[in-house]
Structure 1
Amino acid sequence: MRFSVQMSISVLEKHLASALQPIVEKADSYVKNSEHFTQILGSLRMDNQSIRENIIHLYGKETFTATKCYEKLRQRRVISLCNLNFLKSCRNQTLLPTFTRLSYHTRTRKTQAILDKASKALLQDQIRRTRYEISETELQLFRLHLKLSNKIHQLLWDRIELLTSWRTEKDKDITSKKLWKKLEILQINSKKSGQVSNTNRSSTVHNISAYHLSDTEVSVLNKGFNYAIAPKRVPVEEIVSNVEASLSTIDEQDAELIRQDVARVLRQSKPPQPNLSREEMQALRNLNNNENILIMPADKGNATVVMNTSDYNAKLEDILNDPIYKLVTRDPTTYLEKTTKSKILDSSINEDTKKKLIPREKSSRCPKFYGLPKIHKDGVPLRPIVSAFNSPLCKLEKHLASALQPIVEKADSYVKNSEHFTQILGSLRMDKDDIMASFYVKSLYPSIPVEEALLLIEENEDLPPYIMDLSRHCLKNFTLCTTGKFTDK
């Protein structure tokens, strides 16, 4: 009886399967057998996007993610091999890549030997770490290759391998060219300097004075103007005064919290370790006490220039001897504070802005005039610089500049920066017989005619009425001071 029931169920199952088979065969995902699956793959498009869609359609997103991981591992392996070859070439040619070079504030022969030995040890350690990364990547690749090659059909897997190989070869070519160029630069720099352990920075100091600099003085000046000397004690008074000045515009409760935090930090703070040797500190004092020389940054480039004080003053005098400048007998700062305040109060600027623009009485200073040496030009001329920080017109000039900037940008001759200038040049069409030339304009800004500039401002109807009056006030009261003298333009 039991046997006959089982036979009846089996017959029923076969009957249902034969009845449902036509419906199953109409499904998009239906695969009859391995031969049918091969036919399906052969009919599929095999471009990059299609392969992605096919893998997701046939095997799911998880398998597609695994194939992308396999591709990234192969790319990582190729790049690591290129890096290893570069590092071994540097080691064999006794070249030190930039990332292995060490520096120290004291420059002695013994210090240099220690730094060279440590830099070579860093290079060797990087070679070992790169080899370890390659072995780990190869192990992951082997495991993932076994997993995917057994799961994905051979025809589709061969296509994946082909695309992955093409991409890795492309990455290999790019990385190899980049590293080869780096190696050539290291070789050239090695021949120029005669050493590969540290870059020679003596070229950053240009001594055009009659004073002979010692090796220690050159070492100190090589550190540059941005080098911060560690103080012997924490400047508590200076920090507190600067914090209090900044808290004047903050809510009282927030200001009190900031004061408590600053006080807690100052109580726990300790002076840092000195970062200059005793010889370097003495050399710095000698340079500071020498009144016959001036030490200043160059106009361009990260360089330090040492000049005779007499030469510097003579070149400044030559600039100020231009007829556009006029010597005045007294300091006009107090007068400008009062007149600027009166002009701002009489204008139609809103009250909040007026409060910000009005200069504080008896706290302003006259704009300082100085020059930066142009070491890239014959005769080392000076570029005139006017520091108007904390001058009576400083805040007002900033306000006017921001108001006039949109008008300036509409001009046909407006150039924002060097990148914008390059874009303009790229859009120009030039004939074969055209010549492109550049001109050096001496004293460009002092040569701008003031009345013509004011006329252009007056003719612009988009500007508020007060802009004209305040602009005239600023342009007509340009004063600067240098070496105890006051000059009006």
Structure 2
Amino acid sequence: MKAATKELKQVAGVTVRRADKTAAFLLIDTEEYHKNLDDILADSSKFVRLTRNPNDDTKREANRTIEAVNAATKAIQLPVISEDFWLGYLYGNVKSHKQGNPLRPIISQCPTPTYQLAKRLNAILTPYIPNRYYVTSSAEFLEKITDSMCDGVIAVPVDETIDLNANRVYRNDSTPTLNIPEPALRTLLAKCTKRAPFTTH
């Protein structure tokens, strides 16, 4: 399967993309695929075009907070960001169940400065969140929303989610208080979730 997918990717004018919410792969005209992505990015209420790469600023600002946390706790709680990084990457999965091959935009943050930090924060926060309130993978999330049969738009209010996490960690008698200062945790969570610069094509 991997060999076939790799071979198809070499075909001029054809883009291989995963179908949304399934494990299937689809072939879509490359020009149509790029046009659909451009239509998504044209929404200025959701996306802002950057004139410079913000990764160095993000790394510097995050490290300032990380070093303060490590000094305050007298132990290395978080790894300093020291490597070179790239922008995230936007791609689209095809909504094969809808006409016109619309895309579900997905931004991969794997190559960004805050990716490993986000994974570390997730590991720190997971014990504070009851099992019934979180999922372990995107596949599990899709399964739950598919089973719910609810109509509407799914949105994650970032500031409210940070508030909920902070209240659970610092104002909950059933778990020990985290030894990372709350303002620092809030700052790092915001940097991991509210800054998502990316490129595409």
- Distance change (3 Å), C-alpha of 1:458 and 1:302: closer
Per-residue displacement from partner, 1:213-255 (whole Å, max 9, x unpaired)?
Answer: xxxxxxxxxxx336698xxxxxxxxxxxxxxxxxxxxxxxxxx
Per-residue displacement from partner, 1:73-110 (whole Å, max 9, x unpaired)?
Answer: xxxxxxxxxxxxxxxxxxxxxxxxxxxxxxxxxxxxxx
Q: Secondary structure at the match of 1:347?
A: helix
What corresponds to 1:439 in structure 2? 151
Verify: 1:379 aligned to 2:91, yes or no: no
Shift of 1:344: 1.0
Greater RCO, 1 or 2 (C-alpha within 8 Å, sep 6+): 2
What corresponds to 1:467 in structure 2? 185
Verify: 1:334 aligned to 2:56, yes or no: yes
Shift of 1:388: 1.4
Amino acid at match of 1:438: C
Contact preservation (8 Å) 1:294, 1:307: yes
- Distance change (3 Å), C-alpha of 1:449 and 1:369: same
The structure number with the bigger radius of gyration is: 1
- Paired with 2:82 and 2:189, the residues of 1 have a C-alpha distance of 20
- Decide which of 369, 394, 411 is 2:115's aligned counterpart: 394
Amino acid at match of 1:375: S
Shift of 1:308: 1.7
Q: Secondary structure at the match of 2:15?
A: strand
Verify: 1:294 aligned to 2:71, yes or no: no
Q: Secondary structure at the match of 1:478?
A: coil
- Paired with 2:11 and 2:199, the residues of 1 have a C-alpha distance of 24
- Paired with 1:225 and 1:457, the residues of 2 have a C-alpha distance of 40
Amino acid at match of 1:336: T
| Overall identity of the aligned pairs, in % | 25
Amino acid at match of 1:454: I
Amino acid at match of 2:87: C
- Paired with 1:398 and 1:312, the residues of 2 have a C-alpha distance of 31
Verify: 1:316 aligned to 2:37, yes or no: yes
- Paired with 1:397 and 1:371, the residues of 2 have a C-alpha distance of 23
What corresponds to 1:448 in structure 2? 156
- Paired with 1:374 and 1:225, the residues of 2 have a C-alpha distance of 22
What's the TM-score, normalizing by structure 2? 0.73
Contact preservation (8 Å) 1:296, 1:372: yes
Q: Secondary structure at the match of 2:56?
A: helix
What corresponds to 1:225 in structure 2? 2
Q: Secondary structure at the match of 1:335?
A: helix
- Distance change (3 Å), C-alpha of 1:328 and 1:369: same
Amino acid at match of 1:396: L
User: For the aligned residues, what is the CA RMSD?
Assistant: 3.1
Shift of 1:365: 1.0
Q: Secondary structure at the match of 1:327?
A: coil
- Decide which of 148, 162, 166 is 1:458's aligned counterpart: 166
- Paired with 1:477 and 1:439, the residues of 2 have a C-alpha distance of 29
Amino acid at match of 2:69: S
Q: Secondary structure at the match of 1:326?
A: coil
Shift of 1:401: 1.4
- Paired with 2:194 and 2:149, the residues of 1 have a C-alpha distance of 35
Amino acid at match of 1:449: P
Contact preservation (8 Å) 2:91, 2:200: yes
Q: Secondary structure at the match of 1:328?
A: coil
- Paired with 2:118 and 2:55, the residues of 1 have a C-alpha distance of 15
Amino acid at match of 1:360: S
- Paired with 2:128 and 2:160, the residues of 1 have a C-alpha distance of 16
Following superposition of structure 1 onto structure 2, how do residues 84-483 of structure 1 map, counting pairs within 5 Å? Answer: 224-225=1-2, 284=7, 288=10, 290=12, 292-322=13-43, 323-348=45-70, 351-354=75-78, 357-361=79-83, 363-409=84-130, 414=133, 416=135, 417=140, 437-441=149-153, 444=154, 447-460=155-168, 461=170, 462-463=177-178, 464-465=180-181, 466-483=184-201
- Paired with 1:373 and 1:331, the residues of 2 have a C-alpha distance of 29
Number of equivalences: 181
Amino acid at match of 1:474: C
Q: Secondary structure at the match of 2:2?
A: coil
Q: Secondary structure at the match of 1:325?
A: coil
Shift of 1:387: 1.5
- Paired with 2:5 and 2:200, the residues of 1 have a C-alpha distance of 27
Amino acid at match of 2:59: E
Contact preservation (8 Å) 1:296, 1:304: yes
Query: Which has the larger share of helix?
Result: 1
- Distance change (3 Å), C-alpha of 1:303 and 1:469: closer
Contact preservation (8 Å) 1:367, 1:389: yes
Amino acid at match of 1:330: R
What corresponds to 2:174 in structure 1? none
Per-residue displacement from partner, 1:423-480 (whole Å, max 9, x unpaired)?
Answer: xx9xxxxxxxxxx852253xx3xx4223222322333314442322311232332222
Contact preservation (8 Å) 1:369, 1:387: yes
Q: Which runs of 5+ in 1 are unaligned?
A: 1-223, 230-283, 426-435, 484-489
What's the TM-score, normalizing by structure 1? 0.33
